[in-house]
């Protein structure tokens, strides 16, 4: 296992769509293991393969708090099949370090995916898990949280991230 570099906005690779996984191979298992190590080290509650430069439709989520046992969800080729209601709440993103903004999401989602071993499963989620599923699934479509912000907030976040990017390059 290895910790991979997380891409930061405005890296154009964050806009690439993930490609469906056609077979659960050793490469996919290695990617999942590396993503888990990367997500926990960051620390974060979710990570999409596209955020580490891997062009696959894979994301991980673990919303357990520090005093709870870990519950790692692996979603391969996820498909959100149903959404219900609406909620507005703060979101952060490992590709937008230090940024937290209120984002409008569905309050409840149903998702179908394959697990780490390629076994199909379906899950209905609410609360933080539902938000995280939508957020990470957006990454696989090249959609970022900044795309869900109002124009003023979007401009402020773009400036902050561009300044950070320039400082990182210097």
pLDDT at residue 66, as a whole number: 83
Residue 166: pLDDT band by 50, 70, 90 thresholds? confident
pLDDT number for residue 122:
98
From the list 43, 46, 37, the residue with the least C-alpha distance to 128 is 46
Could you read off the pLDDT of 47-86 as tens digits, one per residue? Answer: 999 999 999 999 999 999 888 999 999 999 999 999 999 9
Residue 123: predicted pLDDT: 98
Average pLDDT of the residues in 143-153: 95
pLDDT of residue 156: 93
Residues 14-46: tens digit of each pLDDT: 999 999 999 999 999 999 999 999 999 999 999
> At residue 170, does pLDDT exceed 80?
no
> What pLDDT digit, counting tens, does each position of 94-146 carry?
999 999 999 999 999 999 999 999 999 999 999 999 999 999 999 999 999 99
d(CA 70, CA 63): 8
- Supply the pLDDT for residue 47: 98
Block residue for tokens 């950070």: 164
**What is the C-alpha separation between 106 and 62, in angstroms, rounded?**
19
Give catalytic status of residue 27 as yes or no: no
The answer on pLDDT for 12 being more than 80 is yes
Cα(157)–Cα(101) distance, integer angstroms: 9
- Rounded to whole angstroms, the Cα distance separating 68 from 15 reads 34
Residue-level pLDDT at 93: 97
- Structural domains of the chain ordered from first start: 12-169 (3.90.45.10)
Angstrom distance (rounded) from CA 3 to CA 33: 9
Distances (CA, A) of 132 to 46, 47, 60, 136: 7, 9, 9, 6
Q: Which of 37, 68, 136, 167 is catalytic?
A: 136
């Amino acid at each position: 296992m290895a910790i991979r570099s997380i891409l930061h906005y405005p890296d154009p690779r964050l806009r690439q769509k993930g490609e469906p996984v056609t077979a659960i191979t050793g490469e996919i298992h290695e990617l999942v293991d590396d993503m888990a190590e990367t997500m926990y080290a960051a620390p974060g509650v979710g990570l999409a393969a596209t955020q580490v430069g891997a062009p696959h439709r894979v994301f991980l989520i673990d919303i357990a708090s520090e005093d709870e046992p870990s519950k790692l969800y692996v979603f391969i080729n996820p498909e959100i099949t149903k959404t219900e209601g609406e909620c507005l709440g703060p979101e952060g993103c490992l590709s937008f370090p230090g940024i937290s903004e209120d984002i409008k999401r569905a309050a409840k989602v149903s998702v179908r995916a394959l697990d780490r071993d390629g076994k199909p499963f379906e899950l209905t989620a609410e609360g933080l898990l539902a938000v995280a599923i939508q957020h990470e699934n957006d990454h696989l479509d090249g959609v970022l949280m900044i795309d869900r912000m109002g124009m003023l907030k979007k401009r402020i976040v773009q400036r902050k991230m561009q300044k950070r990017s320039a400082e990182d390059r210097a």
